[in-house]
Amino acid sequence: MTGVAADCDVVIAGAGLVGLALAPALADAGLSVALVDHSAVALPDPPPAGEDWDTRIYAISPGSAAFLRAEGAWQGLPPDRVAPVEAMRVEGDAGARLDFSAYELGERALAWIVEERALRAALVPLVHAAGVAVHAPCTFESLSFSQDAATLRLDGGASLTARLVVGADGVRSWVRGAAAIAAPTKPYGQTAVVANFACERAHRGHARQWFLRDGGILAWLPLPGRRISMVWSAPEARARELLALAPEALAAEVAAEGRHVLGALACITRAAGFPLQLVKPKAVTAHRLALVGDAAHGVHPLAGQGVNLGFGDAEALAAILRERGSLADPGAPILLDRYARRRAGPVLAMQTVTDGLARLFGSTTPWIRSLRNTGMAAVDRFPPARRLLAQSALR
């Protein structure tokens, strides 16, 4: 496509899960959409030999599942690759615990555990079926703005001109930087170590989370069958130790830290590590620009809400542009302001809760340790507070 200029209503830069979900939603809103990414927008490759499960696992909230169902993506997920979280137990580092039940909340599940590979395989066909113009793989060269449009220049001399550019290109967003939007980051001093395991005992649809004495957070999420996905947000030195372990030693360490509640564990994927940080951009909109997903916010994974916030961004932006009425311009300031206001509350609330809990349980001060466990136990004894805490994550 060298030297070709293409005009459309919206350019989405980034074809992660949020960008893939947003593209057909905007096309269904009557907009012409282009999707660009560094990698090909295609069905995922088969898993490596001997690894049938993806280490990239997401806890999809009922609210996000409803959005994906409305798009037609949820129906495309293989039922045998999706596991409901029917209950969850959170344990403090001094005996306190907090229990959540889907039955108590009137829900089929607190969340649905789905592999990244399965979600991508369900979303990619929708992008093509919606008539989205896909430009990938390509490299972003520059982004410029005029009064009426934005122009994204790609490698080889190609360019895309649109009335709105959406940055959906992740926590280190090139689009955000090209638009000169500052994004202060606050490292947690932790690395998320992820891996999947086969279990000796059935998990019965229960998720578990432990706040550990060293400030780390260990989470087990149910996969189909006798399998779990682990996310261990560990202090950096501890994370390096875990990542250096042989599979058998890692499985033994994870089982021991989880008090052997599921018996012996066996690794079924290799472990991977991801540094953790809080990211709070100064703005999520600018002239002819909107940010979604991790480009708009980065949160600690202890609540598993990062991708759900991103799907919430996509759903909100698509709804606002669908309801624009006689206002033809999708990049109009009034629409972008409406998007920023609609997402400010949910994002701030989730960042405040996850950041606060991560730092509260990261402290080794004795009186803080006592206070946090007392507070957790108190919430567990007061069902209305427990339900209120869970409801925000569900939606």
pLDDT band at 50 (very low <50, low <70, confident <90, very high): low
pLDDT of residue 15: 97
CB count, 10 Å around CB of 61? 27
Q: What is the pLDDT of residues 175-188, one digit of tens each?
A: 999 999 999 998 98
316 pLDDT above the threshold of 80: yes
Angstrom distance (rounded) from CA 235 to CA 212: 11
pLDDT band at 206 (very low <50, low <70, confident <90, very high): very high
pLDDT of residue 365: 67
Q: Residues 114-128: what's their mean pLDDT?
A: 97
Angstrom distance (rounded) from CA 354 to CA 301: 8
Which range has the top average pLDDT, 42-46, 291-295, 352-356?
291-295
pLDDT of residue 378: 58
19 pLDDT above the threshold of 90: yes
Cα–Cα nearest to 196, from 138, 285, 109, 267: 267
pLDDT of residue 2: 41
- Tell me what the pLDDT averaged over the chain comes to: 90
Angstrom distance (rounded) from CA 33 to CA 193: 36
The answer to whether residues 395 and 62 touch, using CB atoms and an 8 Å cutoff, is yes
Angstrom distance (rounded) from CA 106 to CA 86: 11
pLDDT band at 387 (very low <50, low <70, confident <90, very high): low
Peptide bond into 235 cis (omega under 30): no
pLDDT of residue 373: 61
195 pLDDT above the threshold of 80: yes
48 pLDDT above the threshold of 80: no
Share of the chain above pLDDT 70, in %: 87
Higher pLDDT, 373 or 46: 46
pLDDT band at 119 (very low <50, low <70, confident <90, very high): very high
Domains of the chain: 5-50+119-184+281-358 (3.50.50.60), 57-115+188-277+366-394 (3.30.9.10)
Over its C-alpha atoms, the chain yields an Rg (Å, rounded) of 21
pLDDT of residue 232: 96
pLDDT of residue 5: 46
pLDDT of residue 45: 82
Higher pLDDT, 105 or 1: 105
pTM, rounded to two decimals: 0.91
380 pLDDT above the threshold of 70: no
> Cβ contacts of residue 102 below 8 Å, gap of 6+?
84, 85, 86, 87, 108, 109, 110
Share of the chain above pLDDT 90, in %: 72
Alpha helices in 258-365 (DSSP H): 306-322, 333-362
